[in-house]
């Protein structure tokens, strides 16, 4: 069975040494008294919950899956999931970063992100139930009416109820402008919704007494396309004015999807047959409201793959230290044993270090971004909020797509380390691979994220957001450029920064002549910019490690070695990606459709 140790030391390094997060959070009045000891203590307890309560349910939950009662439309989650959720609520974890006005603890989103990384490592399927509730909470907090906030937010904040997002329909996935679900206005100001949704994660379950569905639908006079979509709150059970549960609403689970992975999470086909609903936000402006939830979910999905990368790496390392196989090519390393442990072999080390580097790079970028998010939402200076919002917008598609691509690579590598045992369920590695694969698809496929990055976030504002991020990198390069020990990190970082600037300009010029050039280059482009962000943070981490390499703490020795591996073995991927992006659309469109 897999093992897991929460990576608290690396989290503390990123929080307190790389990001210097506490002073930045202290600039926010709500966090003025927050200190490092509090953060560390909360995350230590969160790690215990993940490792001791959730991890033992991951393999069994995958094997058992969820069960639908077709007569009642109720879903039973795997054994132990409901009891674990009760402990989660009892511990106050749902309220960690929610608004004190609605029963929350008001701690930074950054702490919640760290906590959820550990939950995802321990049991991604389980973590999706409360994780989606956070996204629903954020949406209603931003766009809900006072009545909706009063009814729903205290319940979501406490974890007594959970939430979902109901977007996808069988005939449309990403293209929400095609959706057909209808909302009929009622005389009392409410609505009745009729339609069918698919792929609804945590859409029905037995963990809580009520579920608040956020549903996209069309009003009768709505314009066509995405401009005619409205957002509605649809509870599983109707909610009375005082907040108590009333009769069963006309929304139900018609079927559970049979899936490749995340078996412990109920992925539902949801039917709405005149379900009672209330409008969230303005009519026909449901997408902007839903994007609050979608962007939170995209950061969450990136965090899912970070969690899987970390747990897969830990187990692969443990196996590689114990598994004996052949002798080292340079001579026996364990002469007292019949063969050497496989960790001595260069390619095994390459696979392990790839997973380690992708985990540590993702942790740094994730925490960097969510610290910006905290400042965007609560900093007293409007200019700081605007600058942070721009960088969060730029980095969100990178976190979703780059992390999940890397998570697929890393979990596959870690399964490979186990050889034939990796393909056998009892070791748990094949589950990590299966669970990781969905993360590249849902909450907007990685191609959609790439189009968002290049088309909207970069070319859409003439490179303003990218230039601001590049200026941050250029300032670091200027500061460290004369330090000889930093040359192995600063020089390739500077070179890649120049190449990204040239590539962006070139693609922008091509897009003026043919918009398909954006589609042809976007996926390659996102990986290049993802590597730029990782290289910047690894260079900063290497600087700290160099300064402390003689401290006697092996943590810094390992951090420096990981950074050197990243620059030597992973960053060079960008050369091929840039060449591919520059090849343009012609090789993709030259073949006649009939010849495929």
Cα separations in angstroms, 575 against 164, 420, 422, 524, 548: 41, 33, 32, 10, 32
Spatial neighbors of 368 by CB under 8 A, at least 6 apart, are 18, 19, 395, 537
Active site positions, annotated? 443
Angle of the 464-480 helix axis to the 487-513 helix axis, nearest 10:
160
Residue 419 pLDDT > 90, yes or no? yes
Q: Judge contact between 26 and 144, C-beta under 8 A.
A: no
Per DSSP, the chain holds a count of helices (H) and strands (E) of 18, 11
Whole-model pTM: value is 0.97
Q: pLDDT by residue (tens digit) across 266-283?
A: 999 999 999 999 999 999
Give 177's pLDDT tier (boundaries 50, 70, 90): confident
- Enumerate the domain spans of the chain: 8-154, 162-283, 445-586
What is the CATH code for 8-154? Answer: 1.10.540.10
Question: CB–CB of 99/152 below 8 Å?
Answer: no
Q: What is the pLDDT of residue 291?
A: 84
Q: What is the pLDDT of residues 233-263, one digit of tens each?
A: 999 999 998 889 999 999 999 999 999 999 9
The model's pLDDT over 387-417, given as tens digits with 9 standing for 90+, comes to: 999 999 999 999 999 999 999 999 999 999 9
Contact (Cβ atoms closer than 8 angstroms) between residue 93 and residue 46: yes
Orientation of helix 516-548 relative to helix 573-582, angle to 10°: 160
- Side-chain-facing half-sphere of 412: CA atoms under 13 Å: 7
Burial string for 457-483 (b: 16+ CB within 10 Å, else e) reads bbbeeebebbeebbeebeebbeebeee
- Extract the tokens encoding 203: 């859409």
**Residue bearing tokens 């540590």:** 360
Residue 329: the pLDDT is 94
Q: Looking at residue 80, what DSSP letter applies?
A: T
What are the b/e assignments for 95-126, b being 16+ CB within 10 Å? bbbbbeebbbbbbbbbbbbbbbbbbbbbbbbb
Mean confidence (pLDDT) of the chain? 97
Summarised one tens digit per residue, pLDDT across range 433-489 is 999 999 999 999 999 999 999 999 999 999 999 999 999 999 999 999 899 999 999
**Which overall architecture, per CATH, does domain 162-283 show?**
Beta Barrel (2.40)
Q: From CA 294, how far away is CA 374, in angstroms rounded? A: 17
Q: What is the pLDDT of residue 196?
A: 97
| Residue tagged 């919002």 (tokens) | 389
Task: Give the SS3 label for residue 65.
Answer: coil
Secondary structure (H, E, C), 95-159: HCCCCHHHCCCCCCHHHHHHHHHHHHHHHHHHHHHHHHHHHHHHHHHHHCCHHHHHHHHHHHHHC
Q: Write down the pLDDT at residue 115.
A: 98
Residue 319, pLDDT > 90, answer: yes
Read off the pLDDT of residues 210-239 as tens digits, 9 standing for 90 and up.
999 999 999 999 999 889 999 999 999 999
């Amino acid at each position: 069975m897999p093992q897991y140790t929460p990576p608290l030391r690396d989290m503390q390094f990123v929080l307190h040494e790389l990001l210097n997060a506490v002073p930045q959070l202290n600039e926010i009045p709500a966090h003025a008294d927050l200190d490092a000891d509090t953060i560390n203590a909360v995350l230590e307890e969160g790690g215990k919950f993940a490792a001791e309560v959730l991890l033992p349910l991951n393999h069994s939950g995958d094997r058992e899956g969820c069960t639908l009662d077709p007569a009642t439309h109720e879903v039973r989650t795997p054994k132990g999931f409901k009891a674990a959720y009760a402990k989660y609520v009892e511990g106050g974890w749902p309220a960690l970063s929610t608004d004190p006005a609605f029963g929350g603890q008001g701690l930074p989103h950054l702490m919640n992100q760290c906590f959820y990384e550990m939950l995802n490592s321990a049991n991604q399927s389980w973590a999706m139930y409360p994780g989606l509730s956070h996204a629903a909470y954020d949406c209603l907090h931003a766009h809900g009416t006072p009545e909706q906030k009063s009814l729903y937010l205290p319940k979501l904040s406490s974890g007594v109820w959970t939430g979902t997002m109901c977007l996808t329909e069988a005939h449309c996935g990403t293209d929400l402008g095609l959706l057909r679900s209808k909302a009929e206005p009622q005389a009392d100001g409410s609505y009745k919704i009729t339609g069918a949704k698919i792929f609804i994660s945590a859409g029905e379950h037995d963990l809580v007494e009520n579920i608040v569905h956020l549903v996209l639908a069309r009003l009768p006079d709505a314009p066509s396309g995405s401009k005619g979509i409205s957002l509605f709150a649809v509870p599983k059970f109707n909610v009375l004015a005082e907040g108590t549960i009333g009769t069963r609403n006309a929304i139900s689970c018609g079927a559970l999807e049979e899936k490749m992975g995340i078996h412990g999470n109920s992925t539902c086909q949801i039917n709405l047959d005149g379900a009672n609903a209330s409008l969230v936000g303005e009519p026909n402006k449901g997408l902007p409201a839903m994007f609050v939830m979608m962007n939170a979910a995209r950061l969450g999905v990136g965090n899912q793959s970070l969690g899987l990368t970390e747990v897969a790496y830990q187990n692969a390392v443990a196996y590689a230290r114990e598994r004996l196989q052949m002798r080292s090519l340079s001579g026996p390393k364990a002469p007292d044993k019949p063969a050497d442990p496989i960790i001595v072999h260069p390619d095994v080390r390459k696979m392990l270090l790839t997973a380690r580097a992708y985990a540590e790079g993702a942790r740094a970028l994730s925490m960097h971004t969510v610290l910006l998010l905290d400042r965007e939402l609560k900093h007293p200076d409007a200019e700081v909020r605007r600058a942070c919002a721009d960088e969060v917008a730029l980095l969100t598609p990178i976190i979703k797509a780059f992390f999940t691509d890397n998570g697929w690579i890393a979990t596959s590598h870690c399964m490979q380390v186990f050889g034939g045992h990796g393909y056998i369920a009892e070791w748990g590695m094949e589950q990590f691979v299966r669970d990781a694969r969905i993360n590249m698809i849902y909450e907007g496929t990685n191609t959609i994220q790439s189009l968002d990055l290049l088309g909207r976030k970069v070319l859409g504002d003439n490179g303003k957001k990218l230039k601001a991020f590049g200026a941050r990198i250029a300032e670091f390069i200027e500061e460290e450029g004369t330090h000889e020990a930093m040359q192995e990190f600063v020089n390739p970082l500077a070179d890649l920064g120049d190449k990204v600037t040239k590539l962006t300009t070139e693609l922008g010029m091509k897009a003026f002549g043919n918009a398909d050039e954006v589609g042809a280059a976007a996926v390659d482009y996102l990986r290049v910019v993802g590597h730029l962000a990782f290289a910047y943070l690894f260079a900063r981490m290497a600087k700290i490690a160099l300064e402390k390499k003689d401290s006697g703490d092996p943590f810094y020795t390992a951090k420096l070695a990981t950074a050197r591996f990243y620059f030597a073995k992973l960053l060079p991927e960008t050369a091929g990606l840039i060449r591919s992006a520059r090849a343009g659309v012609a090789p993709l469109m030259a073949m006649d459709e009939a010849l495929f």
